[in-house]
């Protein structure tokens, strides 16, 4: 058993008890941890070494979605956005407009919080968990 403590509340709490069997490694770096909120619901929290690693994960997530589930990608991005990009015009879902799909994917590298619901810096974590993960996570996010 171990623990994790967040700077800001995630799911209504800043402190969670963790078992080593409650997490798995993500292929792009980082770890997904299952935590139980105050109402008894289990939710996944994503832990990353830093904001850069979180951004790389978010970019890879959307790149995989686009490559492997084109219908969903078209639904999310919208045909108007895709046509605008094909014409080299500024467009995009969200507040920032860019000229291509590649530029849109790169936005996540600098702003991973755009992909996730909420997040927090990690203020403390058990050393046994750090050792098992192979890195010291500094940021945590709920998946959006």
Measured from the Cβ of residue 50, the count of other Cβ atoms closer than 10 Å reads: 16
What pLDDT, in 10s, does the model give residues 56-104?
999 999 999 999 999 999 999 999 999 999 999 999 988 889 999 999 9
Parallel, antiparallel, or unpaired for β 42-48 and 31-36? Answer: antiparallel
What pLDDT, in 10s, does the model give residues 5-23?
999 998 888 999 888 788 8
42 three-state secondary structure? strand
What is the pLDDT, as a whole number, of residue 36? 83
| pTM (predicted TM-score) | 0.88
What is the pLDDT, as a whole number, of residue 123? 96
Give the chain's length: 144
What is the pLDDT, as a whole number, of residue 19? 82
Percent of the chain with pLDDT over 90: 72
For residue 144, what pLDDT band results from cuts at 50, 70 and 90?
A: low
Q: What is the DSSP letter of 21?
A: G
């Amino acid at each position: 058993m171990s623990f994790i403590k967040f700077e800001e509340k995630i799911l209504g709490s800043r402190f969670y008890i963790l078992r080593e069997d409650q997490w798995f490694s993500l292929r792009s770096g980082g770890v997904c941890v299952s935590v139980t909120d105050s109402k008894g619901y289990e939710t996944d929290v994503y832990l990353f070494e830093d904001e850069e690693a979180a951004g790389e994960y978010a970019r890879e997530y959307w790149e995989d979605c686009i490559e492997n589930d084109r219908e969903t990608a078209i639904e999310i991005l919208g045909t108007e956005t895709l046509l605008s990009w094909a014409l080299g015009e500024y467009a995009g879902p969200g507040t920032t407009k860019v000229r291509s799909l590649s530029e849109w994917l790169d936005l996540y590298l600098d702003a991973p919080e755009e992909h996730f619901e909420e997040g927090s810096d990690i203020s403390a974590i058990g050393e046994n968990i750090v050792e098992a993960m192979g890195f010291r996570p500094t940021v945590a996010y709920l998946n959006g």
